Structure 1
Amino acid sequence: MKTIHSPALDLNLIKVFDALLEARSVSRAADALGVSQSAVSHALGRLRSLVGDPLFVRTGNRMEPTPRAQRLAEPLRDLLLGAARALSVEETFDPCREERSFTLSASDSLQAVLLTGILRDADKLRVSVALKSLDPDAMLDALDDGTVDLAIGYMPEVRRWHDRQFLYCENHVCLFDPALVPLTPPISLEEYTRYPHLMPSLRGGLTSFVDDELHALGTRRRVAASTTQFVAIPMLLTRTPMISTLPARLAHACARTMGLVTSPLPFASSDFEVSMAWHRRNAGSPSHGWLRQRIAEEAERL
């Protein structure tokens, strides 16, 4: 008990440590905590004295953690998360009775494929969902600052304070309008490269893994256009003689409803994993758990 009530054990110091670990900047940590920079600097001085280690050292414009700080990071974050869960007023969640809004980040292709699981019972639920299509590099930052509750996509790496759940493996197929691109599946490599391509790109580029694979095979394609809006591609394909390479689940759904045709890629390509990730501060939230369960159930149904 004496240890617990020791003046040296100040949870505010742990909050400052955690904020510095994420922000790597005194000023940004102060903004995140809603306090002055001098307050953060003073707290850091107390932490250094308490631990007997500098904890953070300046490297250019960043405050980088020392090895001691890196060892402290996970146990101290778990301590904060445990305190937050213990003090949370949310013990249960009934989506048919309680109003709750969520913000999700996912490409429009994943929105079209996965979010039926949330919206199927929209007439019964009191849950609202705001959807954002963020650059993959921005997803994790959005989880950290709380502007996004759940991120869904190809995320081979997350930060140590994030949790991640695998949803399904996805591959790519070709999609085209047979009235404008008169090919019969499965198409050949020569046929694949004969027509111009309409390319999906979350970052707005004009090359992708496809071009790397074609280069290795000694050939190339012509990308006539790219778009960050995957769901716009099937509509464009009904009006233009182009081929697109899309995630299989989206392509098959569009082929069924829009009179388009899918074909396997005429070269080997790796599957990729679709996962959802969230900040660990939401791990024990019943409403957040309900959201994750609905997404997982829809992924399993697919």
Structure 2
Amino acid sequence: MSQIHSAGLDLNLLKIFDAVMETRSASRAAARLGIGQSAVSHGLARLRTATGDALFVRSATGLEPTARAQRLAEPVREALLLATRALRPAAEAAFDPAGRRTEFRIGAGDYAAAVLLRGLAAEIAVTGWDIGLAVRPVDRRSAPDLLDAGEIDLALGMLSPPRRWQERQALFEEGHACLFDGARLGLSAPITLEDFTRLPHILPSLHAEFSSFVDTALEAQGLRRRSILATAHFLGIPLLLKSVPAIATLPLRLSRLCANAAALTVSPLPFEAPRFEVSMLWHKRDTPVPAQQWLRERLAAHNAAQHAFA
């Protein structure tokens, strides 16, 4: 116990270490913590003395953690999370959606925004609750960092496995479908493999890549497709299909929504395709927060109901 009360143990040093691990920069860590850069540098010097390790070394891209720092990262983050929970007020009032204005910051791409938020948005609209859903685009690469930085409260979509200090809840498994303007192309569902490979494709791609599981499946059969456009704006694809003689492969639920809104045709894919898990991801510091609990529960309930009829 004497080690815990040692004058050399300053828990603020853990906050500095954690901020530098996240930002890889003394100046950005200082800005995040609201302290001067010199205080960060002084804190790192004290940590080097305490650990006997350099912890961070300069590189062309910033401060790179040593092997010792990488081993310390998760235990330090866990310690900070435990301290945050311990100091949280003991009795937070239950969240009342009919109360004062509440805004939630949600990370979601086009698919997640259109498919996962529509039930909750409709509920908010008809109940008259003064609740705002502020949605910003994220993907599986950016979502964990934005959660750690506190820039979003919740991420939705096809997400990476959670970090130790994050939590994830699966909502449902999703498949894919082919979407096209049947009247323009003179086609009806189900589309044949011959037509699928003959027609040009518009690709949904968060990083503007012209390859996906579709190409892998076709190559296994000695086939290929002609991809003419790749876009991260999934909801722009139905508009393109109304004027471009092409087809697209989109998640099933999004395909159905787009077909209803733009008078398009939905068809099963002419080959076996992998399914993917749709989930929500949040930081453990928000797990006990009543407003955040309410948000997650409402989203899970709405999407469970939609999934039952999918």
Structures share fold, TM-score greater than 0.5: yes
Contact (CA 8 Å) 2:78, 2:165: kept in 1 or not? no
- CA-based RMSD of the aligned residues comes to 2.5
Q: Secondary structure at the match of 1:219?
A: coil
Q: Which residue of 1 aligns with 2:159?
A: 155
The correspondence of residues 204-223 of structure 1 with structure 2, limited to 5 A, is: 204-223=208-227
Please, what TM-score do these two structures have when normalized by structure 2?
A: 0.86
Structure 2 gap ranges (5+): none
Alpha-carbon separation, structure 1, partners of 2:282 and 2:187: 43
Contact 1:117–1:297 (8 Å) recurs in 2? no
For 1:229 and 1:251, the matched residues in 2 are separated by 14
Secondary structure, aligned partner of 2:134: strand
Shift of 1:9: 2.8
Pairing 1:110-149 to 2, within 5 Å after superposition = 110-122=112-124, 123-149=127-153
Q: 1:190 aligns with which of 184, 194, 202?
A: 194
Q: How many residues were matched structurally?
A: 302
Secondary structure in structure 2 of the residue aligned to 1:121 = helix
Cα distance in structure 1, aligned partners of 2:210 and 2:70: 39
Is 1:35 the equivalent of 2:39?
Answer: no
Q: What residue in structure 2 maps to residue 100 of structure 1?
A: 102
Output the CA distance in 2 between the equivalents of 1:85 and 1:126. Answer: 28
SS in 2 for 1:120: helix
Q: Per the alignment, in what secondary structure is the counterpart of residue 180 of structure 1?
A: helix
Cα deviations across residues 199-242 of structure 1 (Å, max 9, x unaligned)? 22222344333233323322222223333222232233334432
Q: Which residue of 1 aligns with 2:181?
A: 177
Aligned 8 A contact 1:25 1:62 in 2 = yes
The answer to whether the 8 A contact 1:151-1:278 is kept is yes
Q: What is the CA-CA distance between 1:66 and the residue it aligns to?
A: 4.0
Distance 2:220 2:228 in 1: 21
TM-score (norm 1): 0.88
1:236 aligns with 2:240: yes
Point out where structure 1 has 5 or more consecutive residues left out of the alignment. none
Q: Cα–Cα, structure 1 residues 21 and 212, in superposed 2: closer, same or farther, change >3 Å?
A: same
Residue 282 of structure 1 aligns with an amino acid whose one-letter code is D
Deviation at 1:59, TM superposition (A): 5.2
- Percent sequence identity over aligned pairs: 49
Asked whether the equivalents of residues 104 and 151 of structure 1 are also in contact (C-alpha less than 8 Å), the reply is yes
Question: Residue in 1 aligned with 2:92?
Answer: 91
Contact 1:135–1:203 (8 Å) recurs in 2: no
Deviates most, 197-206 or 9-18: 197-206
Are the structure 2 counterparts of residues 269 and 27 from structure 1 closer, same or farther at C-alpha, using a change threshold of 3 Å? same
